[in-house]
Amino acid sequence: MRTNEKILMWFGKIVAGFIVLTIAVYIILVMFTSLETDTAEVDAYRTDFVAGCSEEGVSYDFCNCAFDYIVENYGLRGMDFLSQEVADGYYPPEIDDATLSCQHLLLEGERI
């Protein structure tokens, strides 16, 4: 292999490595940025949900459990949908699933 070919080969490897590194950094930044946004968004949803749930006379722990169940199984968009359904007077079965999953946290005498 001639010297010029070796230089071009190494230059190509350096450029390819730089491109791969740039893409990796970009992906990591996007992941962490979206996690921070999601965390803030989840916290805002949690505050509203737990406040409304607790006003219904059930424990804070139960409300947090139900929130976690809904977000883990249906996501924040699902939470939006379910909240709107409840606001419209419809009680979706997904709420029953969350209630059953968290019923062990109801305090004595509490009912849903």
Give me the residue spans of the domains in the chain.
34-105
Joined together, the tokens standing for residue 81 give: 């949908």
Residue (of 72, 75, 67) closest to 99 by Cα position = 67
Residues whose CB is less than 8 angstroms from the CB of residue 108 and which lie 6 or more positions away in sequence, other chains included: none
Quick: pLDDT tens for 26-85.
555 555 544 444 788 888 889 988 898 888 888 899 999 999 999 889 888 888 888 888
- pTM as predicted: 0.62
Which of the pair, 94 or 23, is modelled with greater confidence?
A: 94
* Per-residue pLDDT, 92: 87
Whether residue 15 has pLDDT greater than 80: no
Burial of 67 (0-12, 13-18, 19+ CB in 10 A): buried
